[in-house]
Amino acid sequence: MNIAVLGTGMVGQALAGRLHELGHSVVVGTRDPQATLARTEPGPMGNPPFSAWHSTHSSVGLATFADAAAGADLVVNASSGAATLDVLGSAGSDNLAGKVLLDIANPLDFSAGFPPTLSVKDTDSLGEQLQRAFPKAKVVKALNTLTASLMVEPKSLGESSTVFVSGEDSAAKAMVVELLESFGHDDVIDLGGIETARGTEMLLPIWLRLMGTLGTGHFNFKVVR
Amino acid sequence: MNIAVLGTGMVGQALAGRLHELGHSVVVGTRDPQATLARTEPGPMGNPPFSAWHSTHSSVGLATFADAAAGADLVVNASSGAATLDVLGSAGSDNLAGKVLLDIANPLDFSAGFPPTLSVKDTDSLGEQLQRAFPKAKVVKALNTLTASLMVEPKSLGESSTVFVSGEDSAAKAMVVELLESFGHDDVIDLGGIETARGTEMLLPIWLRLMGTLGTGHFNFKVVR
């Protein structure tokens, strides 16, 4: 499948790398490809700059948000929550129309320090904002409840854990579930429509505090039932 | 230990019954004991009225909020979140001073139907509101992340799952952890100060949607790490 991953940070790198490894044709989208390749400073989490990652993943393409989205069957939003609506706007609604838009971002506001707070209350969600802004895209919210390395390699936890999908379009959710299973996820719960993204986005307050308490982001929730 | 359970609904009944079974001296607190015993209609979840429950648990006392709290070493807030500050006000700050106040309520607003929304954003929590309103009480938030029957009989899930404690006072949290372990909980994570109740209270949006999807509240989160 032709997949665009919008975002060049740790999450975008993890997704793009794994999707390429699984045989997909992957193009990473960014605002300005030349500027992205020219950056040499590490990312905000101390991760290597995109250029270093790209030097070992040269089969993954790099293009503008719009060009990446235009050629894709599936678009992954791996931008930060605060930038998401702007990034998708740059990708262009025509380039998203009719496509599956897998939204893995969280609406986090870092302006007052750590831990960040949510920029929505539980009467809205970033997933719904995206679906409203791009009504012709088939938005599926997933993978926003765990750290990048576990999104794509869940078996590294050594025990089964749960991920969730939310969205209005059943075929789009089925495509995402298949992708999640190809990553190694073996417990995917379909919560229902995109409104249910309120539930998974609101997991972030406890996720962030667990990261502080456990001293690692290498954990995930399992729904025991 | 002398324990007051404030609230006569399903949650209060489950807690009072289990604590009594474990050998504690338990008094349930209510606004008007005579009125509570006289009520014959079922509760909002179709549960039997308190009088029916009490007829098979006659060793559990029933008293006003204030009288129940006055005689207790540990006070459990099992009232609904919307009523909590009023109920604890009736219990009286003098009757709570120096005591452990185990808050298991959630700040849910049912005024717009189901699913309810949270009456706080993630910049506050009911646990913190209680601690601010009753600064001499030792508030510990716990057990608000699972259904009443699993709060007190977690082993009925057949698999280990996680509960959380949040609070400012280490000795108070240790007392609550011991109580949780006596119920059968074997994975208790201390998230830190009462501020971390924001994390567990914000689990409710996904909890409510999981209940809808799974068709049961008989599930719990496990933090796989």
Q: What is the mean pLDDT of chain B?
A: 96
Q: Does B117 touch chain A (CB under 8 A)?
A: yes
Domain extent listing, chain B: 2-214
A144: left (phi over 0), alpha (psi -120 to 50) or beta: alpha
Judged by CB atoms closer than 8 Å, whether chains meet at B214 and A202 is answered as no
B55 band by pLDDT with thresholds 50, 70 and 90: very high
**With 90 as the cut, is the pLDDT of residue B210 above it?**
yes
Judged by CB atoms closer than 8 Å, whether chains meet at A203 and B202 is answered as yes
Q: Does A219 touch chain B (CB under 8 A)?
A: yes
Question: A127 CA to chain B: closest CA distance, Å?
Answer: 14
Q: Quick one: three-class SS letters along chain A?
A: CEEEEECCCHHHHHHHHHHHHCCCEEEEEECCHHHHHHCCCCCCCCCCCHHHHHHCCCCCEEEEHHHHHHCCCEEEECCCCCCHHHHHHHHCHHHHCCCEEEECCCCEECCCCCCCEECCCCCCCHHHHHHHHCCCCEEEEECCCCCHHHHHCHHHHCCCCCEEEEECCHHHHHHHHHHHHHHCCCCEEEEECHHHHHHHHCCHHHHHHHHHHHCCCCCEEEEEC
Distance CA A69, CA A93 (A): 10
* A3 and A73 Cβ atoms separated by less than 8 Å: yes
Distance CA A23, CA A60 (A): 11
Interface test with B, best of A160, A185, A206 (most B CBs within 10 A): A206
Judged by CB atoms closer than 8 Å, whether chains meet at A220 and B224 is answered as yes
Judged by CB atoms closer than 8 Å, whether chains meet at B224 and A221 is answered as yes
Residue A53: half-sphere exposure toward Cβ, Cα within 13 Å: 24
**What is the mean predicted confidence (pLDDT) over B205-213?**
97
Contacts of B192 in chain A (CB under 8 A): 209, 212-213
Contacts of A196 in chain B (CB under 8 A): 209
- Closest C-alpha among B162, B198, B133 to residue A122: B198
For A62-114, the pLDDT digits (tens) are 999 999 999 999 999 999 999 999 999 999 999 999 999 999 999 999 998 88
Distance CA B134, CA A137 (A): 50
Give A190-193's long-range contacts (Cβ < 8 A, gap of 24+).
A190/A164, A190/A165, A190/A166, A190/B213, A191/A164, A191/A165, A191/A166, A191/B206, A191/B209, A191/B210, A191/B213, A192/A166, A192/B209, A192/B212, A192/B213, A193/A166, A193/A167, A193/A168
Question: A101 CA to chain B: closest CA distance, Å?
Answer: 22
For A32-50, the pLDDT digits (tens) are 999 999 999 888 778 889 9
Judged by CB atoms closer than 8 Å, whether chains meet at B117 and A121 is answered as yes
Residue B124 pLDDT: 97
Contacts of B221 in chain A (CB under 8 A): 221-224
A129 band by pLDDT with thresholds 50, 70 and 90: very high
For A131-183, the pLDDT digits (tens) are 999 999 999 999 999 999 999 999 999 999 999 999 999 999 999 999 999 99
Taking CA–CA distances from A221, the nearest residue in chain B reads B223
Contacts of A202 in chain B (CB under 8 A): 122, 202-206
**What is the mean predicted confidence (pLDDT) over A11-15?**
97
Contacts of A198 in chain B (CB under 8 A): 205, 209
Distance CA B31, CA B40 (A): 16
Judged by CB atoms closer than 8 Å, whether chains meet at B221 and A222 is answered as yes
The DSSP bridge pattern shows strands B74-77 and B2-6 to be parallel
Q: pLDDT higher for B203 or B41? A: B203
Judged by CB atoms closer than 8 Å, whether chains meet at A218 and B210 is answered as no
ipTM > 0.90 for the complex: yes
Most confident option among A111-125, A177-191, B105-119: A177-191
Interface test with A, best of B202, B208, B214 (most A CBs within 10 A): B202
* A201 and B204 Cβ atoms separated by less than 8 Å: no
Residue B48 pLDDT: 85
Question: A-B interface: how many C-beta pairs under 8 angstroms?
Answer: 116
Residue A93 pLDDT: 98
Residue A143 pLDDT: 98
The topology under which CATH files domain B2-214 is: Rossmann fold (3.40.50)
A199 vs B157, B205, B214: nearest CB: B205
Q: What share of chain B is helix, strand, coil (3-state, %, to 5)?
A: 40, 20, 40
Measured CA to CA in angstroms, residue A196 lies from A186, A193, B145 at distances of 20, 6, 18
Judged by CB atoms closer than 8 Å, whether chains meet at A205 and B122 is answered as yes
Judged by CB atoms closer than 8 Å, whether chains meet at A192 and B214 is answered as no
Judged by CB atoms closer than 8 Å, whether chains meet at B219 and A200 is answered as no
Judged by CB atoms closer than 8 Å, whether chains meet at B192 and A214 is answered as no
Residue B46 pLDDT: 80
